[in-house]
Chains A and B, each alone.
Chain A
Amino acid sequence: MKINDVVCPFCGCLCDDLEITVEHNRIVAVDNGCTLANAKFMSKEQLASPIRRTGEGWENISYDEAIQYTVDMLLDADRPLLYGWSGTHGEAQCIGVHVSELVGGIIDSTTSVCHGPSILAIQEVGHPGCTLGRVKNRADVVIYWGCNPLEAHPRHMSRYTTYADGYFLQNAFRERKVIVVDVRETETARVADEFIRIKEGGDYAVLSALRAIVRGKGDVVPESVAGVSRSQLERIVTLCKDAKFGAIFFGLGLTMTRGKYKNVRNAIELVDELSRHTKFTITPMRGHWNVYGSNEVFTWMTGYPYAIDFCRGIAFYNPGETSAIDLLARKECDACLIIGSDPGAHFPRGCVEHLAEIPTVVIDPVPTMTTALADVQIPVAVSGIDADGTAYRMDGVPIRVRKVIEPTLPNDREVLKSIHAKMKEAKGQ
């Protein structure tokens, strides 16, 4: 059986044109997807039942036992951390917030290790953004800054920018100019009309220089800024000012390098400056398929987008203090529930060591690096494959991910609901 218009639950592009072939409740073929999508849909490593660590290895336990263990662990803790959330759907994230509030814990999503700085910058100076549809149909200048979409978001350029047809562009591929800014010549840089190679850590200086040139104050800028010549910067500014509609996309090259959110703030202020001459917008290249959703859900429920501390009964937000990396590195939490992410594979060593020391439960369909640190793992259905739910694309558009095969396991929403119900019961509510 072929299913059309399936949404891919891998990256922030949320491509919604995949064609999936299902035989005997198993996916046998994926069409239109990139290699990342293929790998996700064709994965067969799902755990069959919850597992608990014993002295020698692992034992299978029932869902009830696993859920009871999680509830007891969270209730015993003084400062539990509930981390992840980007690999699950919005409805589960909602329940996650309720659980965090009930137990008095800290809820943080993978945002704090990817585009958290972008949000801090947006909180300072706002977000001149737009949907990807507008970029596709209007943008004649596209800037990729500190990101490599050809490898990390493989269909971004073909669906929304360089290779996509545009309603207001006669010959989109020829009319669109692509500028890539990076510290090394990536795959994406090779297809760019203009490549700006910056010395590591020089993004902030280059953005400042561009802003000054846009303002007509280029005379203060030295001949070379972080490895980029002033003549190239002037050429870029002319290209941008002559654009009918410009779009900047930026990745972790901007958010997770020296200066972090101040880099992003500078980029937003460059967009602000350019918008005095033409129309410019800026969009973060979000990684996980529903990381934007975690920010949306947390914001509408708590007022803050990530790193929310409920320990005092009210929401407190201060990334750097209440974000997962900082909590773990400083050993400031004493239990951890991980859902929809793999910190064991991505976090610094000190953080991983602390995770291994404290009681940790992982809710994830497949064994991951984090399993090695956990005491209990609860397998669930995969959102977008055998569970449905709402996700937010990198430009903030909500898209419903579908269920293409019948589930054999409960989904995130159901597991979290039981945890919440048991917790309420234990608290006598």
Chain B
Amino acid sequence: MKVTLEVKPRQKPYLPIEAEGIVPRTFFEGTDSLTVFRGNKELPLEEIFNVAIEGEAESVDEVEIIILGDSSRIKRVGEYMDGGRIHITGDIGMHCGNFMSAGEIVIDGNADAWLGREMRGGRIRCHGSAGDYCAAGYRGEKRGMRGGTVEVFGDAGDFTAETLAGGSVIIHGNAGDLSGVDMKEGELTIMGDTSRACANMSGGMAYVHGTVNDMIPTFRKIGQEKVNGEPYTRFSGDIANRGKGTLFIRNYKYLD
């Protein structure tokens, strides 16, 4: 089944649309009365999108949703997704792929904040950049993302992989400040630069292939090790938090 949703122009284009109903399962099970919210107004899906559905599906994994047009203010697409595929051809709004447990989301443009928040499984690939709190947790939660893979080909914002508790996060560009802060388990890979990586971590593993600026001063230096033939410094910490995490860093600078 192929579902094409084309975003219509709106009178107030900046007002966010909350569309947690846009998940493959909804279309697999039938969508007679699917609604989305513009602020406090509940609207039929057709008022925001031109909807076209082709073909049938035997299982949720055979459903593919394609989102066309300016979807940069459409929030919560793919929330609780448990199979199938979502392909976003432009940018996507906040909370894309919240709590998803299976399936795949591909974003050709940029993703706004909280991409893959508290994700449990499945795969998100973002070809542009991601906002703050990419693959992070919710306010006050001890554990954030617990499984699956988030891969961002551009840069990621601040607090990337905050409270990471499983799964893997790969940022091909740079990550913002405090990436991997309070992480507990799982694996974070940053190909570019970041700052204050993995502050207060208690467990898990992180690789930074660029430079960590303002390195947290409470990581114990274990020594030099080779990663793919290149020299890296291995750290253990965060000692301030009785942490047992491992950090492999190509270059680092303290704020001294």
Contacts and interface: CB of A to CB of B under 8 A. Distances in A.
The answer on A and B forming one complex is yes
Interface of A: 77-79, 103-105, 120, 123-124, 199, 201-202, 204-205, 208-209, 211-212, 215, 217, 220-227, 258-259, 262, 265-266, 269, 310-313, 317-321, 330-334
Contact of B40 (A79, A199, A221): A79
Contact of B217 (A79, A220, A269, A317): A220
Given A124-B140, A211-B240, A332-B14, A311 B40 contact: yes
Nearest to B240: A211
Contact of B94 (A217, A226, A258, A321): A321
Nearest to B42: A312
Contacts of B221: 220
B211 to A, nearest CB: 16
A320 B113 contact: yes
B39 A104 contact: yes
Given A199-B255, A330-B14, A78 B41 contact: yes
A221 B218 contact: yes
Contact of B39 (A225, A319, A334): A334
A311 B239 CA distance: 43
A215 B240 contact: yes
Given A208-B218, A212-B240, A226 B113 contact: no
Contact of A225 (B139, B182, B256): B256
Contacts of A199: 255
Contact of B214 (A79, A123, A201): A201
Main SS class of interface, B: loop
B85 interface: no
A201 B37 contact: no
B113 A321 contact: yes
A302 B250 CA distance: 47
Contacts of A205: 196, 214, 216-217, 254-255
B241 interface: yes
Contacts of B254: 205, 222, 225
14 contacts: A79-B15, A124-B142, A124-B182, A202-B255, A204-B199, A208-B200, A211-B218, A215-B242, A262-B182, A269-B200, A311-B39, A313-B40, A318-B138, A321-B113
B139 A317 contact: yes
Contact of B256 (A79, A215, A223): A223
B7 to A, nearest CB: 17
B217 A262 contact: no
Nearest to B140: A123
Nearest to A273: B240
Contacts of A333: 15
Contact of B196 (A104, A204, A223): A204
Given A77-B39, A199-B255, A222-B256, 15 more contacts: A78-B39, A78-B41, A123-B139, A124-B182, A204-B199, A205-B216, A205-B217, A212-B239, A220-B217, A221-B218, A224-B256, A225-B254, A262-B182, A312-B18, A331-B14
A208 B40 contact: no
A283 B242 CA distance: 25
A311 B16 CA distance: 11
Interface of B: 12, 14-16, 18, 37-41, 73, 94, 113-114, 132-133, 138-140, 142, 177-178, 181-182, 196, 199-200, 214, 216-221, 237-242, 254-256
Contact of B199 (A202, A217, A262, A311): A262
Nearest to B142: A124
Given A120-B140, A259-B178, A332-B14, A311 B214 contact: no
A217 B18 CA distance: 48
Nearest to A321: B94
Contacts of A220: 217-221, 237, 239
Contacts of B181: 262
A78 B255 contact: no
B180 to A, nearest CB: 12
Nearest to A326: B113
B113 A103 contact: no
A225 B255 contact: yes
B199 A120 contact: no
B15 A215 contact: no
Given A226-B255, A262-B200, A320-B113, A269 B241 contact: yes
B85 to A, nearest CB: 26
Q: 3 smallest A-B Cβ distances: which pairs?
A: A104-B40, A79-B39, A123-B140
A110 B140 CA distance: 20
Given A104-B40, A262-B181, A208 B139 contact: no
B256 A320 contact: no
Nearest to B141: A124
A228 B140 CA distance: 31
Contacts of A332: 14-16, 73
Nearest to A229: B256
B178 A262 contact: yes
Contacts of B41: 78
A200 to B, nearest CB: 10
Contacts of A319: 139
A233 to B, nearest CB: 10
Contacts of B114: 321
A212 to B, nearest CB: 4
A321 B237 CA distance: 32
Nearest to A209: B217
A89 to B, nearest CB: 27
Contacts of A212: 217-218, 239-240
A317 B16 CA distance: 16
A222 to B, nearest CB: 5
Contacts of A202: 214, 255
Given A217-B239, A259-B196, A321-B113, A311 B37 contact: yes
A324 B139 CA distance: 17
